[in-house]
């Protein structure tokens, strides 16, 4: 096996260069260089147009807070918004009328926590963080997650708003599940951040597919599928039909593609193409990926038009709705 070694770190006035060392399958160190005009940090990025979430995350980052606090507090904004029917309080229920929430969080050291199909707790991302920090486990599901949340001091909350209840009762008249692209009832928030120290964290939270089978869990709380963070490389998160993201372990794939030298944009495009390679004749669903690398370079890509993502850094609070998509 020949030893491959690429350029090592060097910095010029014009360009910051990051090298990403890793051990290949032959246990040899390989270092891939990545040139950027400049390093952007701190920075927050989130799926869809959740501008209040990125604004909150940016506030935390700007004041010197950690990326972990930034992603949690950003995600909590959407979880608390009763008008957002895809996340947290006010989320659409399953077909039995129960709102069940999924969330996960991951930090710079690869620590992670998740809750799956949890009822009656308003901020699943906060419980996920407690799972990460207070237990030896990664995931807690259902009644166990809820019980743990109460033990941690979370209050019981009715998550089903009058609006979501009204729509569910209407849906029950036909009980047909027909997703409409971009309003497929699962506009998950995935949020990634790099803090002033250069450390990366991510969080993902959702009420999942509206009117799903009781107990259905999508990609959002699954580390590697809905979210993945590698502090050496970058992070990625997903929104859309979770089943397809799980099948390709989408967020992990995107981080690995960045490790191999792709930009966040290129990696997101490849991630979407891998999904469509397994769904050649399907035009009826949406997936969106966003990603960030260690330098604060970002990217996003989706199957259908209509997806967008937000970034917030010293360069401003940007809605990337002019992003490209596969089926254009």
Site string for ligand GLY, 242-281 (x = CB under 6 A): x---------------------------------------
Task: Tell me how many residues contact ligand GLY (CB under 6 A).
Answer: 12
Give whole-number Cα distances, 124 to 93, 140, 145, in Å. Answer: 15, 11, 9
With CA atoms as reference, report the closest residue to 234 among 273, 274, 263: 263
Q: Find where tokens 């160190």 sit.
A: 29
Nearest approach, Cβ of residue 112 and ligand GLY (Å): 17
The whole-angstrom separation of Cα 38 and Cα 13 is 10
Q: Which residues of 53-92 are buried (b: 16+ CB within 10 A; e: fewer)?
A: bbebbbebbbeebbbbbbbbbbbbbbbebeebbbbbbbbb
Q: Considering 188, 237, 298, 308, which one is annotated as catalytic?
A: 188
Nearer to ligand GLY, 18 or 125 (CB): 125
Site string for ligand GLY, 198-237 (x = CB under 6 A): --------x-xx--------xxx-----------------
Q: Contact between 186 and ligand GLY (CB under 6 A)? A: yes
Q: Contact between 239 and ligand GLY (CB under 6 A)? A: yes
Q: Contact between 304 and ligand GLY (CB under 6 A)? A: no
Give whole-number Cα distances, 180 to 64, 241, 285, in Å. Answer: 40, 11, 8
Contacts of 134 (CB under 8 A, 6+ apart): 152
- In the three-class reduction of DSSP (H, G, I as helix; E, B as strand; rest coil), residue 286 is classed as coil
Contacts of 232 (CB under 8 A, 6+ apart): 20, 21, 22, 294
Nearer to ligand GLY, 126 or 286 (CB): 286
Candidates 124, 202, 224, 240: give the one binding ligand GLY (CB under 6 A): 240
Site for ligand GLY in 36-55 (CB under 6 A): none
188 is catalytic: yes
Nearest approach, Cβ of residue 188 and ligand GLY (Å): 4
Residues lying near ligand GLY in the complex (CB under 6 A) are found at: 186, 188, 206, 208-209, 218-220, 239-242
Catalytic residues: 188
């Amino acid at each position: 096996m020949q030893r491959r070694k690429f350029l090592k770190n060097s910095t010029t006035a014009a360009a910051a260069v990051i090298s990403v060392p890793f051990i290949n399958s032959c246990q040899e160190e390989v270092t891939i260089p990545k040139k950027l005009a400049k390093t952007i940090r701190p920075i927050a990025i989130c799926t869809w147009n959740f501008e209040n979430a990125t604004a909150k995350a940016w506030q935390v980052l700007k004041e010197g807070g950690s990326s972990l606090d930034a992603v949690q507090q950003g995600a909590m904004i959407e979880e608390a918004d009763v008008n957002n029917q895809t996340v947290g309080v006010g989320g659409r229920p399953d077909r039995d009328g129960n709102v069940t929430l999924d969330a996960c969080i991951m930090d710079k050291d690869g620590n992670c926590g998740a809750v799956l199909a949890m009822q009656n707790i308003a901020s699943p991302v906060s419980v996920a963080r407690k799972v990460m920090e207070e237990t030896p486990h990664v995931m807690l599901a259902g009644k166990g997650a809820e019980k743990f949340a109460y033990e941690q001091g979370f209050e019981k909350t009715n998550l089903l708003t009058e609006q979501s209840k009204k729509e569910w009762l209407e849906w029950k008249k036909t009980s047909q599940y027909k997703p409409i692209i971009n309003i497929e009832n699962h506009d998950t928030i995935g949020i990634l951040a790099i803090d002033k120290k250069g450390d990366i964290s991510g969080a993902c939270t959702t009420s999942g597919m509206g009117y799903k089978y009781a107990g259905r869990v999508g990609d959002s709380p699954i580390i590697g599928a809905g979210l993945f963070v590698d502090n050496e490389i970058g992070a990625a998160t997903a929104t859309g039909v979770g089943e397809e993201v799980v099948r390709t372990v989408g967020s992990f794939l995107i981080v690995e593609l960045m490790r191999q030298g792709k930009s966040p944009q290129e990696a997101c495009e490849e991630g979407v193409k891998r999904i469509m390679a397994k769904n050649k004749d399907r035009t009826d669903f949406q997936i969106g990926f966003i990603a960030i690398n260690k330098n604060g370079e970002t990217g996003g890509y989706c199957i259908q038009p209509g997806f967008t993502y937000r970034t917030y850094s010293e360069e401003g609070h940007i809605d990337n709705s002019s992003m490209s998509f596969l089926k254009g």
